[in-house]
Amino acid sequence: QVAKSIQAEAHHTSGLCVALALAFIAYLLFHRFFTRHRVLKRYLWWLQPLGPLIVVIVGALMLGNSPYLQSKLKYVGHIPEGMPPARVPITSEMLGRVFPTAFGAFVVGDMEAIAIGKGLADKHGYSIDSTQELLAQGVANLVGSFFSCYTATGSFSRSAVNDMVGGKTQLAALISALVVMFTLLFLTSWFFWVPKFALAAIVITSVIPLVDVGSAIQLFKMSKKDFVVWLTAASLVMF
């Protein structure tokens, strides 16, 4: 379905957007290499988490001061201010209608959270408790349902961004949540001109390190059949 969507929308591709996105991707990759260099990181460690922020600020300044770019590129636009009101998320009459969809979202969300969690655990050499992860997601979604929140799960893109900027503990998630809340209350107008290609560049460069090419090569050497299974699964997930 993703491949069909790409094919159907390919004629809408903007060369300017692609060029700027590639430029931002190149900068983010250079920023990561430069700030994590074995010699320079002793002095520039504080710059490591600022790469995505720099891209967002530069992109917003570009669009905010260029009517030409505003007419050619897509940007975030208006974001409603304030927190959503608290209310009872569901009534007994609605339960039968939403249960199949909710159960499907739960299964997919839990699999996604475990997948990204184990991927990061293998990368950094620690283990995760699947039961604890499930409990945390359940509590988060139960509380969030009273505020019309999007289903909470282990996002590949956000987890990759968090890992890229050096997040190691739950404190990173807490700070992120507080910043989002503060932004919704007071700073939504600041994000009006943030270009979508800048956000795409951040996600792409953050997800790249999660693709374990080394393990795929090792699997290919050990078992061609298992490698075909891996390649098929990866292709189905992406396309």
What is 175-202 written as a DSSP string? HHHHHHHHIIIIIGGGGTT-BHHHHHHH
Residue 59: the pLDDT is 92
The SS3 assignment for 75 reads: strand
| CA–CA separation, 142 and 189 (whole Å) | 30
Tens of pLDDT along 69-81?
A: 888 888 988 888 8
Q: In Å, what is the CA distance from 129 to each residue of 114, 124, 135, 167?
A: 9, 15, 10, 19
Tens of pLDDT along 29-38?
A: 888 887 777 6
Identify the band that residue 135 occupies on the pLDDT scale cut at 50, 70 and 90: confident
Q: In Å, what is the CA distance from 139 to each residue of 88, 135, 144?
A: 16, 6, 8
Closest CA to 112 of 161, 153, 157: 153
Check pLDDT > 70 for residue 6.
no
Identify the band that residue 39 occupies on the pLDDT scale cut at 50, 70 and 90: low
